[in-house]
């Protein structure tokens, strides 16, 4: 199982993808090489959503909340959740364009789908990290609304 | 803990004591002394007497709530707000009677002297006629001495001798305790009470700890006038205040021996009050605040080699005083009053601050805001706000703060300087940071957390004053 499997639920299968070009050998080869390229780039995509999700959640709890302006409110937490998602989309698109080399017309569509999936993962990372931060005894100025129990 | 027995004599004594309580609540330091107020005013029906007794009771309630650690554990006094312990004299004895109750005299002065028993030809009858007017003799003692020190001297002397409150004072005054007497010099009760009480203490050879207690006193010079008595029908004529003051000062010069004697007064009688000795619903005044500050000054001074006369001035002669026109000597007072007024703003905001982090970490939740400790604190702070409003509106006004309402910019809250905190969120943030610095739930007293963290948060910005 390759790392690309992480995105399988939002992408067509490899067979489905290649089948579309089975009558045109040069395009078929191009599609296969595109798929392989995506597969090898998927580690970077994963690093991107993890890094962005964790960096922003840490910034929210330990940086942003050092500023006045009632930053501890849930609406600010949600705002940074949205920023995490948007930044992940943008970062994945840029990363994909830089790493995945292919002239296949579908490239952008694929990268966009992967970016959107990545943003979902980054949201999950942001949420899970928030849940952990709210329940560990490390001081933060933010409101620990995800704290379990009293 | 050492104590300072604060004797508040007469109406001015009551009003100055109110300022003492307010300053103590705002965090003025007494350098380790507990305050034991002793109210000496025969005018027991006076609303101000009731108000002061209630205010002291409210303060004690907040202090006790803030120092209770649960399950008989006692916490130290808070660092900032309500930092001083105030104990009623009757509480030292676990009794319920107030000192004033035993001073209440429902008789007229004439009945008190038993003038009716003297025949018209008796030489004492002529002596009394010479010393006292008919109005003097008819006056009910339960409304005080109506600005007649010649009446006060006679009545108070007997009231002090053998009084329960004086016995309690003798029993509880220990080595290292201090005595402070607050009175006015231009009325009846205070002007006569101060030298009498001082003499009684200084001559108390049977109780060396009483006799040798370091003694301070503040005597308040005339600072208000009253409506013309011919129109108000009152017995008090404020045009006599200066004459009475001069006479009393001449007497004080040779007879009073307090280690520190503070004089607080005004250049002219700027404030005019209604001439109603039964009610005396007078607003808080700058001079009372200055007189109250004398107690805090006295408590940080060592024993002098000889009696010291003290006074304090303001920098500029203006009607509404701010930090600049008051002068540097008032910085501490302004800072503490500002702290409490900012705290008042925060208390208005906090119950509605549903996502305030201390709700989760320190239990400052809805239940806490509906509970008695917070209610008592909030009620006291509202009294403080009213007291400051009176001070700022009076003539001359102590008005170093701008009126700022919830949600408005807080940078200019102190006139003439600009604070870095632009709005409430700056103080709330510092409260959270203060909470984060302290060990988690070291005692569990939520009110104490609120007081400590709010003080810490507020002073973070006001310390630059």
How does residue B134 score in pLDDT terms, banded at 50, 70 and 90?
confident
Average pLDDT over residues B173-202: 90
Q: Which of A66, A68, A145 sits opposite B355 (nearest CB)?
A: A145
Interface test with B, best of A66, A72, A149 (most B CBs within 10 A): A72
Q: Do A72 and B361 touch (CB under 8 A)?
A: no
Q: Which of B355, B433, B436 sits opposite A73 (nearest CB)?
A: B355
Q: Read off φ and ψ for residue A2, nearest 5 degrees.
A: -90, 170
To the nearest whole percent, how much of chain B has pLDDT over 90? 60
Average pLDDT over residues B352-374: 95
Please report the pLDDT score of residue B253 as a whole number. 86
Q: Give the integer Cα–Cα distance in Å for B21 and B42.
A: 21
Q: Give the integer Cα–Cα distance in Å for B253 and A25.
A: 119
Beta carbons of B368 and A150 less than 8 angstroms apart: no
Overall domain count for chain A:
1
Please report the pLDDT score of residue B430 as a whole number. 97
CA distances (Å), B290 to each of B147, B218, B263, B267, B311, in order? Answer: 22, 10, 9, 14, 9
The model's pLDDT over B249-271, given as tens digits with 9 standing for 90+, comes to 888 888 888 999 999 998 886 77
Please report the pLDDT score of residue B277 as a whole number. 60
> Smallest CA–CA separation between B362 and chain A, in Å?
10
| Residues of chain B with C-beta less than 8 angstroms from the C-beta of A138 | none
In a 10 Å sphere around its CB, with 0-12 CB exposed, 13-18 middle and 19+ buried, how is residue A26 labelled? Answer: exposed
Please report the pLDDT score of residue B232 as a whole number. 61
> Smallest CA–CA separation between B61 and chain A, in Å?
28
- The one-digit pLDDT tens for each residue of chain A (150 residues) are 466 788 888 888 888 888 888 888 888 898 999 999 998 999 999 999 999 999 999 999 999 999 999 999 999 999 999 999 999 999 999 999 999 988 888 899 999 999 999 999 999 999 999 999 999 999 999 999 999 976
Q: Is residue A140 part of a domain?
A: no
Please report the pLDDT score of residue B131 as a whole number. 83
Q: Which of B428, B429, B436 sits opposite A139 (nearest CB)?
A: B436
The model's pLDDT over B106-129, given as tens digits with 9 standing for 90+, comes to 677 788 778 888 888 888 888 888
Kindly list the residues of chain A whose beta carbon comes within 8 Å of any beta carbon in chain B: 66-70, 72-74, 137, 139-145, 147
| Domain span including residue A81 | 43-135
> Smallest CA–CA separation between B355 and chain A, in Å?
6
Q: Which of A74, A141, A145 sits opposite B433 (nearest CB)?
A: A141
Beta carbons of B328 and B390 less than 8 angstroms apart: no
Q: Is residue A92 part of a domain?
A: yes
Q: Give the integer Cα–Cα distance in Å for B36 and B90.
A: 10
Average pLDDT over residues B122-137: 82
Which carries the bigger pLDDT value, residue B269 or residue B331? B331
Nearest CA in chain B to A136: B361
Q: How many CB atoms lie within 10 A of CB A74?
A: 13
Which carries the bigger pLDDT value, residue B286 or residue B72? B286
- Please report, for chain B, the start and end positions of each structural domain, with discontinuous segments joined by +: 3-109+142-312, 330-462
Kindly list the residues of chain B whose beta carbon comes within 8 Å of any beta carbon in chain A: 353, 355-357, 359-361, 421-423, 425-426, 428-429, 432-433, 436-437, 440
Please report the pLDDT score of residue B229 as a whole number. 66
How does residue B390 score in pLDDT terms, banded at 50, 70 and 90?
very high
Beta carbons of B324 and B443 less than 8 angstroms apart: no
Please report the pLDDT score of residue A14 as a whole number. 83
Chain-wide mean pLDDT for chain B? 88
Q: Give the integer Cα–Cα distance in Å for B387 and A136.
A: 45
Q: Is residue A19 part of a domain?
A: no
Nearest CA in chain A to B429: A68
The model's pLDDT over B302-312, given as tens digits with 9 standing for 90+, comes to 999 999 999 98
Sign of the CA dihedral running B51, B52, B58, B62: positive
Closest to B33 in 3D by CA, of B216, B287, B163: B216
- Which string of DSSP letters, residue by residue, matches B397-447? EE--B----TTS--TTSBTTS--S--SHHHHHHHHHHHHHHSPTTSS--HH
pTM of the predicted structure, to 2 decimals: 0.89
Q: Is residue A117 part of a domain?
A: yes
Q: Which of B360, B428, B433 sits opposite A70 (nearest CB)?
A: B428
Closest to B187 in 3D by CA, of B16, B37, B19: B16
Q: Is residue A128 part of a domain?
A: yes
Please report the pLDDT score of residue B255 as a whole number. 87
Among B227-236, B290-299, B303-312, which stretch is predicted with the lowest mean pLDDT?
B227-236
Q: Give the integer Cα–Cα distance in Å for B455 and B432.
A: 12
The β-bridge partners of B308 are B260
Which carries the bigger pLDDT value, residue B383 or residue A22? B383
Average pLDDT over residues B160-186: 91
Nearest CA in chain A to B426: A68
In a 10 Å sphere around its CB, with 0-12 CB exposed, 13-18 middle and 19+ buried, how is residue B231 labelled? Answer: exposed
CATH topology of domain B3-109+142-312: Rossmann fold (3.40.50)
- Please work out, in degrees rounded to the nearest 5, the angle formed at the alpha carbon of residue B35 by the alpha carbons of B29 and B41: 130
Q: How many CB atoms lie within 10 A of CB B101?
A: 13
Q: Do B429 and A68 touch (CB under 8 A)?
A: yes
Please report the pLDDT score of residue B412 as a whole number. 94
| Residues of chain B with C-beta less than 8 angstroms from the C-beta of A78 | none
To the nearest whole percent, how much of chain B has pLDDT over 70? 89
| Residues of chain B with C-beta less than 8 angstroms from the C-beta of A137 | 440
| Residues of chain A with C-beta less than 8 angstroms from the C-beta of B425 | 68-70
């Amino acid at each position: 199982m390759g790392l690309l499997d992480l995105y399988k639920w939002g992408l067509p299968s490899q067979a489905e993808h290649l089948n579309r070009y089975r009558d045109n050998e040069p395009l078929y080869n191009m599609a296969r090489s595109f798929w392989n390229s995506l597969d090898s780039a998927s580690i970077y995509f994963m690093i991107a959503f993890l890094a962005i999700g964790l960096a922003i959640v840490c910034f929210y709890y330990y940086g942003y909340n050092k500023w006045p302006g009632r930053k501890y409110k849930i609406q600010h937490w949600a705002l940074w959740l949205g920023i995490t998602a948007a930044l992940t989309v943008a970062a994945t698109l840029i990363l994909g364009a830089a790493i995945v080399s292919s002239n296949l017309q579908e490239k952008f569509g694929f990268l966009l789908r992967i970016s959107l999936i990545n943003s979902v993962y980054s949201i999950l990372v942001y949420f899970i990290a928030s849940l952990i931060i709210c329940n560990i005894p490390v001081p933060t100025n933010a409101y620990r609304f995800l704290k379990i129990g009293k | 803990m050492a104590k300072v027995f604060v004797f508040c004599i007469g109406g001015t004594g009551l009003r100055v004591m109110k300022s003492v309580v307010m300053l103590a609540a705002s965090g003025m330091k007494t350098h380790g002394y507990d305050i034991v107020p002793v109210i000496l005013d025969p005018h027991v029906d006076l609303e101000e007497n009731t108000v002061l007794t209630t205010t002291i009771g409210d303060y004690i309630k907040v202090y006790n709530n803030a120092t209770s650690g649960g399950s008989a554990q006692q916490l130290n006094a808070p660092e900032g707000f309500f930092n001083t312990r105030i104990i009623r004299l009757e509480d030292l004895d676990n009794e319920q009677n107030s000192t004033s109750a035993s001073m209440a005299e429902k008789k007229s002065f004439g009945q008190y002297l038993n003038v009716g028993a003297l025949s018209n030809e008796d030489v004492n009858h002529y002596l009394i006629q010479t010393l006292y007017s008919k109005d003097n003799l008819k006056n009910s003692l339960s409304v005080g001495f109506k600005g007649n020190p010649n009446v006060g001297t006679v009545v108070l002397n007997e009231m002090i001798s053998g009084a329960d409150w004086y016995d309690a004072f003798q029993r509880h005054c220990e080595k290292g305790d201090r005595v402070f007497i607050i009175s006015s010099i231009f009325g009846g009760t205070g002007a006569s009470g101060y030298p009498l009480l001082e003499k009684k203490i200084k001559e108390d050879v049977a109780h060396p700890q009483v006799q040798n207690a370091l003694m301070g006193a503040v005597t308040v010079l005339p600072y208000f006038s009253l409506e013309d008595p011919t129109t108000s029908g009152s017995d008090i004529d404020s045009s006599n205040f200066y004459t009475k003051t001069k006479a009393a000062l001449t007497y004080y010069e040779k007879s009073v021996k307090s280690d520190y004697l503070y004089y607080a007064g005004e250049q002219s009688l700027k404030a005019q009050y209604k001439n109603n000795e039964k009610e005396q619903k007078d607003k808080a005044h700058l001079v009372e605040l200055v007189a109250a500050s004398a107690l805090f000054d006295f408590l940080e001074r060592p024993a002098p080699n000889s009696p010291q006369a003290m006074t304090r001035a303001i920098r500029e002669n203006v009607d509404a005083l701010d930090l600049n026109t008051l002068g540097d000597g008032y910085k501490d007072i302004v800072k503490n009053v500002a702290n409490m007024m900012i705290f008042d703003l925060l208390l208005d905001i906090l119950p509605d601050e549903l996502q305030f982090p201390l709700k989760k970490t320190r239990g400052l939740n809805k239940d806490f805001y509906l509970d008695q400790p917070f209610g008592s604190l909030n009620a006291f702070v509202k009294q403080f706000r009213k007291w400051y409003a009176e001070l700022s509106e009076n003539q001359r006004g102590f008005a170093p703060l701008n009126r700022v309402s919830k949600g408005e910019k807080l940078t200019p809250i102190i006139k003439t300087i600009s604070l870095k905190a632009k709005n409430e969120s700056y103080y709330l943030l510092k409260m959270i940071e203060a909470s984060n610095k302290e060990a988690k739930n070291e005692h569990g007293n939520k009110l104490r957390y609120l007081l400590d963290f709010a003080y810490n948060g507020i002073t973070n910005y006001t310390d630059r004053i």
